[in-house]
């Protein structure tokens, strides 16, 4: 059994973009309730997510972006940054916790206190670009975490793996051309954010999937297109943008993965991490909007991380 950290914070429940919005606080409640119901909660070490520092955020975001978000934070009500992305008075704090969770996860893993970590946080992050918030995302949590491993812990090579139904345009924007980072991703296309159909740099492996793609084809793509590049790269740490909205029950997209597919891909990545990265994995929640499918998929994912 691996020692797995579970990192979250109650502030992440307070960010609310309106009763209509699919990226809702109930997502985190569904995850924790399911883990308790399945008796899995006893197997993890629990940690409160700290606030990210400006120094940590500025490794991947511009100072102007941070200042704009801080100024936009309302005292009352909800302020829309775009039609999909909005802030209430708790959003700034929640976003700082979500980014800080990944930083803590890196520190816990690289200090040897845990082998891997899962961050159950919101708002998600992989659409946030260096200079802009979008797609429900404010800070790029996975990029902040990976940059922390490179800058504060002097790692030479890290891999980012993104299997969300949407292309992680923000993470690509943060690391495009950075030869210390290999990013591999699958996503539905054509679909929001309508990017990623061409790999813009040698360190990006983008695999667009047509609507209706099922687990069998997803597994083929992972085996044939992801894993050879990852093994060639020999990352010292793996970062997973764990979006579960490619599940067939999730109406946000049109892919047809099951929780068994998430368990399988997690197993492939864990085997890679065990072989070349001392088992080091940090996984951070991205999408997933069907509450039942999300909860089951997260449980399948972290069962494999913890070797349960």
CA angle centred on 245, ends 242 and 249, rounded to 5°: 135
pLDDT tens, residue by residue, 242-259: 999 999 999 999 999 999
∠ CA 124-38-123, rounded to 5°: 10
Instruction: Report the alpha-carbon distance of residue 62 to residue 173 in Å, rounded.
Output: 12
Residue 199 pLDDT > 80, yes or no? Answer: no
Active site residues: 127
User: Sorting pLDDT into bands at 50, 70 and 90, what band is 200?
Assistant: confident
pLDDT recorded at residue 247: 99
Task: Please identify which residue in the block is written with the tokens 């200090």.
Answer: 111
Q: Which two tokens stand for residue 281?
A: 């994995």
pLDDT at 93 over 90: yes
Mean pLDDT score of the chain: 98
pLDDT at 217 over 80: yes
Q: In the prediction, which pLDDT does 198 show?
A: 79
State how far the Cα of 297 lies from the Cα of 144, in Å rounded to an integer. 24
Residues 250-273: what's their mean pLDDT? 99
- Whole-angstrom Cα distance, residue 107 to residue 112? 9
CATH code: domain of residue 227: 3.40.800.20
Tokens 């970590």 belong to which residue?
117
The 3-state DSSP class for residue 86 equals strand
Sheet holding 158-162, edge to edge: 44-48, 4-8, 116-119, 281-285, 238-242, 158-162, 181-188, 204-209
Contact (CB, 8 A) for 241 and 288: no
| Domain around 195 | 4-305
236 alpha carbon, distance to own chain's centre: 18
Q: How confident is the model over 274-308, as pLDDT tens digits?
A: 999 999 999 999 999 999 999 999 999 999 999 99
Percentage, residues of the chain above pLDDT 70 = 100
**3-state secondary structure at position 236:** coil
Percent of the chain exceeding pLDDT 90 equals: 98
Query: In the numeric block, which tokens belong to residue 14?
Result: 């307070």
Residue 76 has φ and ψ, to the nearest 5°, of -140, 155
- Of the candidates 110, 103, 123, the one whose C-alpha atom is nearest the C-alpha of residue 47 is 103
**247 phi-psi bin (left φ>0, alpha ψ -120 to 50, beta other):** beta
- The pLDDT of residue 2 is 85
Q: Tokens in use for 135?
A: 């797609």
Q: What integer pLDDT is reported at residue 44 of this predicted model?
A: 98
Quick one: which of 36, 243, 239 has its CA closest to 122? 243
How many domains is the chain built from?
1
Rg (CA), the chain: 17
Cβ atoms of 301 and 257 closer than 8 Å: no
Query: What does the pLDDT read at residue 20?
Result: 94
Buried b (16+ CB within 10 A) or exposed e, 239-261: bbbbbbbbbbbbebbbbbbbbeb
Q: Tens of pLDDT along 133-183?
A: 999 999 999 999 999 999 999 999 999 999 999 999 999 999 999 999 999
């Amino acid at each position: 059994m691996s020692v797995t950290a579970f990192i979250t914070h109650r502030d992440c429940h307070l960010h609310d973009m309106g009763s209509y919005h699919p990226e809702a606080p109930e997502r985190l409640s569904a995850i924790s309730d399911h883990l308790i119901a399945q008796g899995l909660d006893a197997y993890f070490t629990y940690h409160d997510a700290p606030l990210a520092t400006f120094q940590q955020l500025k490794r991947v975001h511009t100072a102007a972006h941070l200042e704009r978000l801080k100024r936009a934070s309302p005292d009352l009500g909800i302020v829309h940054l775009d039609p999909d992305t909005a802030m209430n008075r708790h959003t700034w704090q929640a976003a700082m916790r979500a980014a800080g969770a990944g930083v803590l996860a890196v520190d816990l893993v690289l200090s040897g206190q845990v082998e891997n970590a899962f961050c159950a946080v919101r708002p998600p992050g992989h659409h946030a670009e260096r200079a802009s918030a979008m797609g429900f995302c404010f800070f790029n949590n996975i990029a902040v975490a990976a940059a922390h491993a490179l800058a504060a812990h002097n790692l030479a090579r890290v891999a980012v793996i993104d299997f969300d139904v949407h292309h992680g345009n923000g993470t690509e924007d943060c690391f495009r051309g950075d030869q210390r980072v290999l990013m591999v991703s699958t996503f539905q296309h054509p679909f929001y954010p309508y990017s990623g159909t061409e790999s813009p740099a040698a360190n990006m492996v983008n695999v667009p999937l047509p609507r209706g793609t099922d687990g069998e084809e997803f597994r083929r793509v992972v085996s044939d297109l992801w894993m050879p590049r990852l093994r060639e790269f020999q990352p010292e740490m793996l970062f997973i943008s764990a979006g579960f909205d490619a599940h067939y029950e999730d109406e946000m997209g049109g892919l047809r993965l099951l929780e068994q597919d998430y368990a399988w891909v997690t197993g492939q990545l864990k085997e890679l991490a065990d072989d070349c990265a001392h088992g080091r994995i940090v996984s951070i929640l991205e999408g997933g909007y069907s509450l039942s499918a999300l909860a089951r998929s997260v449980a399948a994912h972290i069962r494999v991380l913890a070797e349960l």
